Homo-oligomer: A and B are copies of this chain.
């Protein structure tokens, strides 16, 4: 199995984290997240979105979109609830992540680390405010819960952990979010946990 990967991408880290929990072996090929000129050549036939992660299964079939890949590998394991409503709640959090969380928190981190010169301070500030709004919603939810869904660790937690645990790299003041910080510690304490730079 081959994972088209970026070491710094939270989206790719989500997949590496679940595969570590599951003890599944795979190879990686890193793609550049700044110079994307080789994307069509490398993964054009595998993922129309041309994004990483893209995974090629042992039988040659490919999958894209981090959270779809998580769902694929989690089905039938302890990392995805069997209850239909809880499974839909897991997806609700994963769509929340790709719509409200990643486009703000991950993008601010990317801009401030890898492309600062090309982005205006006003654009960064607008996304940072939207990112804080997203973190406020997570904080409210986690204030009375151990994990995002069903009070058990699931791929919903993995999906949100990916960029939340590196949000400070985008300048987010995480001291404002005690419930999130306690949840980050619970996630990192799960058996088989690996760090983003493992």
Q: A71-B91, A75-B84, A88-B71 are in contact. Are A96 and B137 (CB under 8 A)?
A: no
| Docked pose: A147 CA to B1 CA in angstroms | 27
Assembly stoichiometry (copies): 2
Contact A65 B91 (CB under 8 A): yes
Min CB distance, A70 to chain B, in Å? 9
Q: Does A118 contact B (CB under 8 A)?
A: no
A residues adjacent to B (C-beta < 8 A): 47-49, 57, 61, 63-69, 71-72, 75, 84-85, 87-89, 91-92, 94-96, 98-100, 102-103, 137-138, 140-141
Q: 26 A-B Cβ contacts within 8 A?
A: A47-B92, A48-B141, A49-B96, A49-B100, A57-B85, A63-B85, A64-B96, A65-B91, A65-B92, A65-B95, A66-B95, A67-B95, A68-B88, A68-B89, A68-B92, A68-B95, A69-B88, A71-B91, A72-B84, A72-B85, A72-B88, A91-B91, A94-B95, A95-B95, A98-B99, A103-B103
